[in-house]
Amino acid sequence: MAQLVRTLSEKPKSYLLRQVIFILLIALSLAFFGYCYLNPRSQKLESIQARANKIVRKIYHPQGVKLRRRVFPQPNVLRPSRRDVHVITPWLAPIIWEGTYNIDILNEQFRLQNTTIGLIVFAIKKHVIYLKRFLETAERYFMVGYKVNYYIFTDRPDHVPRIPLQNGRQVVILKVQSYSHSQNMSLHRMEVISNFSEQHFYREVDYLVCADVDMKFTEHVGVEILASLFGTLHPGFYGLNRTNFPYERRPQSQAQIPEDEGDFYYTGALFGGSVPEVHRLTKACHQAMMVDKDNRIEAVRREESHLNKYLLYHKPSKVLSPEYSWDKQMWENTGNQQLGDLPFYIKRIRLLIAK
């Protein structure tokens, strides 16, 4: 033993230092390995990442899914699809007119996403009489071939008509309070849509389309209208200078738009977008309307005024032409009927206000 101790003491000190460092490195490596591969939190993260990668591969590299081959003419960016109307906004959002899109290309895109659309309509009191015509024409022309939930807000659920539906479609009846005055209904419509977006629509649909019940579908209305946020040009004010728009101009109102501002005048009869965007829009409009109510002021065109204020400062990613909200009676009342049944820029009426 004495000889062994003496032998070890005779070894250089640098040799012992290297041995200690080597042992420490091994210990650190083992500790790192144990943390990374034996720690449950790390294993959970790895599992989540693996599932996410699997989902991404499934979406972008589908196995066993053969995509249909389609042949389309090559687009020509120097030749607009239409020259008689504006087809794009200053913020590069498309304006949807007849002849400005290829529905076959759009259908391929949205069917790959397995899109579900919610169509919201309010049928309060006597307006329930319009519901049968609205639903029957929607079944014929609205989002044909797609899954659709008809969300009907009404105070008369027993009066909702039963109509035959296409596969993948359903009517959802949602009972709401009956208001004594149309002003109160206008005040609370945005609130109701906002609340149900948060509570139900997020889980049930991808897009929401909010329409007036006194409209009827007269031509195809499909996925060409879908976007994160869309508004519809009001047929009565298309082509006018913004100084002639019926914006709310009083600074006391939350809907006020100054004289030197404004892009378009949008109708409140048709708007929509993705569920999160519609939730934000309706919540903001309702809050602004409640502030006006507390200040004892009502915007000149109620919720439509607040909608226009919102869309001015939150630009829609798509704008629908007056083809999607045509008012034949309004056009005739302008004295322009001698020019023919329709103005030159209307090629096809898709939604008609028909009280």
Binding residues for UDP-N-acetyl-alpha-D-galactosamine: 122-124, 212-214
Residue 354: per-residue pLDDT: 82
- State the pLDDT confidence band at 330, using cuts at 50, 70 and 90: confident
Q: What integer is the mean pLDDT of 113-141?
A: 96
Do 99 and 56 have their domain in common? no
Listed in sequence order, the residues at least 6 apart from 256 whose beta carbon sits closer than 8 Å to its beta carbon are: 247, 248, 249, 250, 309
Q: What integer is the mean pLDDT of 321-326?
A: 97
Binding residues for Mn(2+): 212, 214
Do 54 and 144 have their domain in common? no
Do 51 and 104 have their domain in common? no
Name the burial class of residue 47, with classes exposed (0-12), middle (13-18) and buried (19+) by CB atoms within 10 angstroms of its CB: exposed
Domain that holds residue 295: 95-353
Do 19 and 108 have their domain in common? no
The tally of domains found in the chain comes to 2
Please give the residue that has the higher pLDDT: either 293 or 47.
293
Binding residues: 122-124, 212-214, 234, 304, 327
Q: Is 219 a catalytic residue?
A: no
The answer to whether residue 112 is domain-embedded is yes
Do 238 and 153 have their domain in common? yes
Q: Which CATH number fits the domain that encloses residue 168?
A: 3.90.550.10
Do 56 and 176 have their domain in common? no
The answer to whether residue 286 is domain-embedded is yes
Structure tokens at 247: 């914006």
> Looking at 98, 304, 323, 332, which residue is catalytic?
304
The answer to whether residue 3 is domain-embedded is no
Phi-psi region of 114 (alpha: psi -120 to 50; beta: other; left: phi over 0): left
Query: Which segment of 73-87, 113-127, 211-225, 269-283 scores lowest on mean pLDDT?
Result: 73-87
User: pLDDT (tens digit, 9 = 90+) per residue, 3-29?
Assistant: 433 443 444 555 566 666 767 667 666
Q: What angle do CA 190, 277, 131 make, to 5 degrees?
A: 45
Structure tokens at 135: 């639903």
